[in-house]
């Protein structure tokens, strides 16, 4: 995942766009995968929060969006490695 500057409006728009493209069904898959891999209580909870806000990134802070996108990238990478 590219490094985003959460203070740069362009990077923030890109992050929000990536976040908004993830559907509720995809969030459910990420949550299930995270629980299987036991990636941690806080990480799973933030994925659940992201799931509830799917498609409406404007209600999440830039730090949370960055955190969630990094978790999604990590889960995707680990899935590809198998």
Cβ–Cβ < 8 Å for 62, 9: no
Main-chain dihedrals φ then ψ at residue 41, nearest 5 degrees: -60, -50
Each of the 82 residues of the chain gets a pLDDT tens digit; together they read 678 888 889 999 999 999 999 999 999 999 999 999 999 999 999 999 999 999 898 899 999 999 999 999 999 998 887 6
Quote the pTM value. Answer: 0.88
Instruction: Supply the pLDDT for residue 1.
Output: 62
Instruction: Supply the pLDDT for residue 5.
Output: 85
Instruction: Supply the pLDDT for residue 44.
Output: 94
Instruction: Supply the pLDDT for residue 63.
Output: 94
Which one, of 9, 29, 12, lies nearest residue 66 by Cα? 12
């Amino acid at each position: 995942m590219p490094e985003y500057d959460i203070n740069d409006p362009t990077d923030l728009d890109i992050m929000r766009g990536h976040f908004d493209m993830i559907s509720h069904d995809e969030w459910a898959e990420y949550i299930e995968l995270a629980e299987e891999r036991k990636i941690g209580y806080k990480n799973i909870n933030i994925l659940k929060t992201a799931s509830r806000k799917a498609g409406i990134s404007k209600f999440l802070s830039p730090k949370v969006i960055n955190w969630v996108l990094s978790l999604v990238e990590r889960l995707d990478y680990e899935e590809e490695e198998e």
